[in-house]
């Protein structure tokens, strides 16, 4: 995965599974090796098997030093 801020490689941090009404959510945290930008990736896995898995990525925060 590439950082949306500086386009450098991101390293996977922690990951966990959360039960949801519609199935399981696989959550992974990513941190940029260059600028420290943090993102989470969520993959939905429908329990019924009727739908497709969806991938959602959003920014969590950025570590800034002045």
pLDDT by residue (tens digit) across 24-53?
888 888 899 899 888 888 887 766 655 666
Confidence at residue 48, expressed as pLDDT on a 0 to 100 scale: 62
User: What is the Cα–Cα distance from 55 to 49, expressed in whole angstroms?
Assistant: 16
Q: In this structure, are residues 43 and 54 in contact, taking their beta carbons and an 8 Å threshold?
A: yes
Percent of the chain with pLDDT strictly greater than 90: 5
Q: Whole-angstrom distance between the N-terminal and C-terminal Cα of the chain? A: 27
């Amino acid at each position: 995965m590439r950082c949306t801020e500086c386009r450098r490689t991101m390293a996977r941090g922690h990951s966990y599974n959360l039960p949801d009404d519609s199935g399981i959510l696989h959550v992974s945290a990513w941190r940029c090796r260059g600028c420290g930008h943090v993102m989470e990736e969520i993959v939905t896995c429908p329990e019924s098997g009727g739908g497709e898995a969806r991938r959602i990525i959003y920014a969590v925060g950025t570590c800034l030093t002045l």
